[in-house]
Structure 1
Amino acid sequence: MPDFLFEIGLEEIPARMIAPAQMELARRVQDVLTRERLLEAGSEVHSYSTPRRLAVLVKSVAIAQSDTEELLTGPSWNIAFKNGEPTPAAQAFAKKAGVELSALQKITTPKGEYVSATAQRKGRSATEILAEQLPKELAALYWPKNMYWRPGKPERFVRPVKWLVALLDHAIVPVEFAGVRAANITYGHRILHGSESVTIEHAADYLGQLEAAHVTADVELRRHRIRKALDAAVRSVAGARWREDHPLVDTVTHLTEWPAVILGSFEPEYLTLPEEVLVMVMRDHQKYFAVEDASHKLAPYFLTVLNTQPEEHGDEIIRHGNERVLRARFNDARFFWDVDQKIPLTARVEMLKSVTFQKDLGSYHDKTAATLRIAEKLAGILSEKGARIDTGALLEATKLAKADLTAELVKEFTELQGIVGGLYARAQGLGESVAQAIYWQYSPAGIEDPIPPTAEGQLLGIADRFQTISAMFGIGLEPTGSKDPFGLRRAANGIVKILAESGLPLTLWDLTEAAPRGPATAEKIPAFFRERVEFYLRDVRGFAYDVVNAVLAAGHNDIRDAIARAEALSAVRGADDFIAIAAAFKRMKNILRQAQEKNLLQSEPNYDDSSLTDLAEINLRTRAGQVGKDFHILQRTHKYREALELIATLRPDVDQFFDKVMVMVEDEAIRNARLALILRVQRAFSSIADFSEIVTA
């Protein structure tokens, strides 16, 4: 069976967009082949990319679809045949099915007798299908930003399409997209191979022929070569190693086709600047890797990844050029650092009046005042709960948190916002607690980032984010659908992560109480945070979706408590007795819902003991009361797993109840008593989780 190669060549794609597009294109090609019955068992789908291409190579593709038979049903027999003779309806159906009239058969269905025929469907060729389907898949490929490049033409893509390759082994598949028709011609490295084309003789030769043209299309191989080259380059400095940086490795991998690494150096005098500033300049502005010594301190060296192989002695020219650029950037940083020190952070707070936070919400000075009020209230709540926190340092840090927005260093290197404020606070002797809180205020920026290491930093991060969320919701700027222009979901994720992973005894209700009260705070924000807690439990902590639903149904106000309940539920959910109890609770919930729909259930139904006379219902009432006492003791002491295991001991009594007792009987008194019994059982044992949410089959 032939191999299929598909490559789309483009002008340089932004590095951050390549990996998702590579995965999506591979998925789309595989989906087409699977849907069209062209993908054989044991077929392999491989995807490749460089800044100038996306490619998919599929091993063992069927040359054509297999022929199939399809049973077709036509008009009723009485309409198709009159007195045994075929009518025009029968003739039309036979023509449509592609069979002779004599091949028509009678079938009997629940609706009567009909004409049927077995139609032979000849399989289409892979070439025909791929030529038809792949342009549609390319047009549907998602890009964060698209562009038009042909006047008057409808297609949009991330960059102009330059070439297409589509091969079944050595045969060209006539795919056409954006005015470009597929061939067996691709292109090698722009510098090392020039404009000379590369003819792909056979789909299986793709990687090898590109390697010969100085293009490593395999992303993982390219990443491996970069890491090995970084290791080799840094060995020339005794005791040194490059500082591990996975995101930067990914970035340079997607910026290169034929990578090489050069070691450069800078004057040790720049090491007097804070390490964070130096690394940020190297990493974010120049895509350089920092080098550290054996004690993990920054060394006066850097590593740059090139997208070419320097000619003999050419590496010295490239090295000196990169050193000159970096020296200029470091000089800028040092100049801004020195200039900024002339105005202390405390004097910069007033300057925030001229820095707009949001047009309807005022300046960052206004935001600081609002955040300060929330932080003060939260500090008071923590004090009431007996938590230890340096309130003075917290309030001072909150007051100064945004002051570095007026600093020249932050204006030049915006990624250092907050970090610069912390460094300035330390340099200006404002206290380590204040400096640390300011430094870490934006952490976690992502769900993988650590939370601030100090209670003051954690509380500042919470207060700042919650002020932003409540203020934006208050003027109707909450996230909608996939749009979140103010990053409120990210802010809420940060709050949830801090509450989950810190020792702060704060609940979501505490935050709501500390913020200005309004309709948005009271209604929309709790629902918004429920979504974020659900995301954290499911996607960050990895709990099963039904466990998350069950736990959240019992409350999410205390996030660490919700985590503990989810852990306990995950531990016991596989036990047979617990599965049976969960199924029984689902049955109770359904009965109660049906009763409510029929207006047969009061919110607080009367419990008439005298109406419960069946032994099964008496046993359930008695055992539920006995178990309930111990259950609530375990629950109050947060021994959730033991509490859940205790609930499972009710299984025999619950099973007997549903085996022997009919709840929805005609007698109103008996029905009400039984409804009240299962309602109270359900309520009594659903404070840890709503067990009816657990999938039991």
Structure 2
Amino acid sequence: MTATSNLLVELFVEELPPKALQKLGDAFAGVLRDQLVAQGLAAAGAPLTAYASPRRLAAHIEGVLAQASDKAVSQKLMPVAVGLAADGQPTPALLKKLSALGADASAVAGLKRVHDGKAEVLYYESTAQGATLAQGLQKALDEAIARLPIPKVMRYQLEDGWTSVHFVRPAHGLVALHGAGVVPVAVLGLAAGNATQGHRFEAAVQPVVLRDADSYAEQLRAQGAVIAGFAERRAEIVRQLRAAAEKLGGGVRPIEDDALLDEVTALVERPNVLVCQFEREFLAVPQECLILTMKANQKYFPLLDAEGRLTHRFLVVSNISPQDAGAVIQGNERVVRPRLADAKFFFDQDRKKTLASRVAQLSKVVYHNQLGSQGERVERVRAIAKAIGQQLFAALAERHELQGTQDGEIAQDWLLTCVDNAALLAKTDLVTDMVGEFPELQGIMGGYYAVNDGLPDEVAHAIEDHYKPRFAGDELPRENVGLVVALADKIETLVGMFGIGNLPTGDRDPFALRRHALGVIRMLMEKDLPLDLGALLAGAVPAFAGRIDDPSALLADFIYDRLAGALREQGYRSQEVDAVLALRPQRLALVEKQLAAVRAFSALPESQALAAANKRVSNILKKAGGDVHAHVNPELLREQAEQDLYAALQRFVPEADAQFERGDYTASLQTLAVLRAPVDAFFDDVMVNAEQLDLRLNRLGLLKTLHEAMNRVADLSRLAA
């Protein structure tokens, strides 16, 4: 076998799109290795290091062969009857096939005969020479370039002035080193060499001539002033950010934002963190506005104090390290000032008009061509919110859990008024200057402007919170008013979009319907809301005034699918989830209690036998048709086993039902576990489908009674192995 060496491949390009850099680097390195493995030039799982900086994609692969081993190849030709004449001589068809494979008539004697179950077939066996690294790497490079997940392809001319190529950015250099030797490959009009470029301004030498494949990262850092590894560069930025904040003291810390950190990592080759500041007067503007403009527009890291409040300082990750950083600091401070001034201007201007005065403008904002304007949508959300609020506040009052400033009916009226006001005003910040500039602040700015208008805290909080949860793991609305408006807003979106047939498909979900469904699920479950899912969905349809078809059934399936996936991600077994959700539970707040009960039941020694019996009962009842009633005439119970089962049901089911009604689902199932013995005896000794009609119907009624009693918490037949 040929000796192995480590391989280094680098493509040097103009600045790559920062948000795609990490994905591009991983894909480039991964495809290279996979292609070399496929050609026998590297072992499966060969150690791989991917490098990605603003101006380079590179891969270091260990243990790469200079030439792959030869391989024995067996090629199927044709049936013997087709390839050989009666006298054993090769037919023209066989000779033509052999010629295509580079062989002649002399190879006929060595052909192998194999019976494939139908006829004897001729096989030609040969040895294929292993690919050289130059051949294999060329193929791998071509494939890596073709399969890069490029967000947008550029077309540019090569130096000859005639040839055009397509790539993510113009490429200017190619390195391919196997050990210390250059591998003769070419791509994008570039021939491989052993030299690359360092930092634009701070490289000690230019170009950086690489000694061998293993010295790449070290030479780039020492001579080229570049940290080539994405993860290493990111870690260095994190270290410097924390060090700069600690140096300021007072518990100051940089804001945590992984997306911003990844983007900045993709913008610099050798990070240098600097401390900057702005005038304190800007802190009168809501900090969300200032933070967003610094992060989104300038890629700065705002600094928060120990209480999480924005300070007047921020951190900049520079790509240069001058001896005197004063000019860099001043430049960044000068650049951010107009941005903050714009935010302050928008905030001051917006507060001159009340939210209520902006409601009429929503009728001019298109929501969807089939569902009308935002103004029409607001009216639907108000109607849905009113219905949800009436149901929720009445239920909470019964449970003595009603939040409000007064007791009883006065509290309900107050909260319903708050719900209506919040639903009316929740979208008005869409027509403010601040949200027009920063759409990410919708809801947040509405909350600030509601406070400015002197509205109750319940209304201001609901306006801010009604978009929550915005993403997985986001917090839920703080108060009941916010919960009602958030539920109404999400249900209006879901019912409306499903009602016009605008369903998510594959990876496409432009209206975030999956996220809305999970938001509804989380609010119902985590806030223990006494609301029925089916009633919520069906109750929203009238608000559309005949504009849509009723999508309640289809939408319920969609929500249960999302719930099933979420529960499995939380660690519940598929059988447990299927058993509970098969009953389409309406109170999602109770689902986790049902799952806990099923898990406890599954641990009982009787569980598998009862699950199997339930499955058998279900099949019997399905075959019997839909006219089986849970009614038993004791006088028609002839066999001892059916009498015993009936007696057991009479004794234990009332107790299990009482436990179920109290919400003690675990105890209810455990009480019913004692039915195993009489159920087993029933199936051993009793023929259900008796010829006598009244006996048969009575036994089916007994099984129906058993089935209903056993499956109130979950469909136990789903637990059968």
TM-score range, shorter-chain basis?
0.7 to 0.9
Partner of 1:231: 242
The CA deviation at 1:262 is 0.7
| Residue identity opposite 1:559 in structure 2 | L
Q: CA RMSD in A?
A: 4.3
Which of 586, 602, 606 is the aligned partner of 2:625? 602
Matched residues in 2 for 1:522 and 1:307: separation? 55
Structure 2 partner of 1:300: 312
Q: For 1:89-108, what aligned pairs fall within 5 Å after superposition?
A: 100-104=107-111, 107=114
Q: 1:413 to 1:605 in 2, by over 3 A?
A: closer
Please tell me whether the aligned partners of residues 580 and 651 of structure 1 are also in contact (alpha carbons under 8 angstroms). yes
- The alignment of Structure 1 onto Structure 2 pairs a total of residues equal to 687
Aligned positions of 1:535-574 closer than 5 A: 535-539=565-569, 541-555=570-584, 557-569=586-598
Query: Partners in 1 of 2:553 and 2:455 — Cα distance?
Result: 40
Q: CA deviation at 1:438?
A: 1.1
Which residues of 2 match residues 359-374 of structure 1 at below 5 A? 359-374=369-384
The within-5 A match list for 1:677-688 is 685-688=710-713
Match of 2:486 among 461, 464, 479: 461
Cα distance in 2 between the residues matched to 1:201 and 1:576 = 69
Q: Mean alpha-carbon deviation: is it higher for 673-682 or for 206-215?
A: 673-682
Separation of aligned partners in 2, 1:178 and 1:465? 49
2:254 paired residue number? 243
Q: Show the counterpart of 2:266.
A: 254
Q: Does 1:532 align with 2:562?
A: yes
State whether residues 23 and 47 of structure 1, in contact with CA within 8 Å, keep that contact through their aligned partners in structure 2.
yes
1:666/1:352 CA distance change after superposition, 3 Å: same
Unaligned runs of 5+ in 1: none
Q: Does 1:497 align with 2:526?
A: no
Counterpart residue identity of residue 553, structure 1: A
The Cα shift of 1:230 comes to 1.5
1:3 aligns to what SS in structure 2? Answer: strand
Range with bigger deviation, 618-627 or 275-284:
618-627
Contact kept in structure 1, 2:27 and 2:144, CA below 8 Å:
no
CA contact (8 A) 1:572 1:641 kept: yes
Once the two structures are TM-superposed, the CA of residue 567 in structure 1 deviates from its matched residue by 4.6
Q: CA deviation at 1:349?
A: 1.8
Deviations 1:101-135, CA, capped at 9 Å, x for gaps: 45455555644555567654544345433422442
- Work out the CA distance in 1 between the residues paired with 2:152 and 2:611: 48
Change over 3 Å in CA distance of 1:246–1:412 after alignment to 2: closer
| 1:13 is aligned to 2:43 | no
Range with greater deviation from structure 2 (31-40 or 605-614): 605-614
Identity of aligned residues (%): 32
Residue-by-residue CA offset, 1:577-627 (whole Å, 9 max, x unaligned): 6567667766777x67xx97xxx5523458999999999999888878877
Specify the SS of the correspondent of 1:385. Answer: helix
* Structure 2 counterpart of 1:218: 229
- 1:160 Cα offset (Å): 4.0
Deviations 1:416-440 (A, max 9, x none): 2211111121133211111111122
State the TM-score, normalizing by the size of structure 2: 0.81
2:59 corresponds in structure 1 to 56
> Does structure 1 residue 141 correspond to structure 2 residue 148?
yes
What is the CA distance between 1:353 and its match in structure 2?
2.9
Change (3 A) 1:41 1:482: closer
Query: Contact conserved, 1:131 with 1:176, CA < 8 A, in 2?
Result: yes
Q: 2:31 aligns with which of 21, 28, 32?
A: 28
3-state SS of the aligned residue for 1:478? coil
Q: Distance between the aligned counterparts of 1:680 and 1:97, measured in 2?
A: 78
Identify the range of structure 1 (463-472 vs 446-455) with the bigger mean alpha-carbon deviation: 463-472
Pick closer, same or farther for the CA change 1:496–1:51 going to 2, 3 Å. farther
Matched with 2:456 is: 431
Inter-partner Cα distance in structure 2 for 1:613 and 1:671: 11
Partners of 2:649 and 2:74 in 1: CA distance: 58
What is the distance in 1 between the residues matched to 2:514 and 2:665?
30
Q: What is the distance in 1 between the residues matched to 2:689 and 2:140?
A: 57
Per-residue CA distance 1:344-402 (angstroms, 9 max, x = gap): 22222223333333344333222222211111111011133235252222221111111
Q: Match of 2:587, as an amino acid?
A: D
The reply to whether residue 330 of structure 1 matches residue 331 of structure 2 is no
Which residue pairs with 1:345 in the alignment?
A: 355
**2:292 alignment partner AA:** M
Q: Give the SS at the match of 1:305.
A: strand
How far does residue 150 in structure 1 lie from its aligned partner after superposition?
A: 6.0
- Which one-letter code corresponds to 1:208 in the other structure? E
**Contact preservation (8 Å) 1:470, 1:515:** yes
- With over 3 angstroms needed to count, the CA separation of the structure-2 counterparts of 1:437 and 1:29, relative to structure 1, is same
Alpha-carbon offset, residue 186 of structure 1: 3.2
**Local SS of the residue matching 1:386:** helix
Residue 10 of structure 1 contacts residue 162 of structure 1 at CA under 8 Å; is this kept in 2? Answer: yes
1:192 equivalent in alignment to 2:202? yes
State the SS of the aligned residue for 2:43: strand
Further displaced range: 280-289 or 77-86: 77-86
Say if 2:253 and 2:306, in contact at 8 Å, map to a contact too: no
User: CA distance change for structure 1 residues 202 and 565 in 2, over 3 Å: closer, same or farther?
Assistant: farther
In structure 2, the gaps of 5 or more residues are 404-414, 543-547
1:509 Cα shift? 1.7
CA distance in 2, matches of 1:655, 1:66: 65
For 2:314, what is the secondary structure of its paired residue?
strand
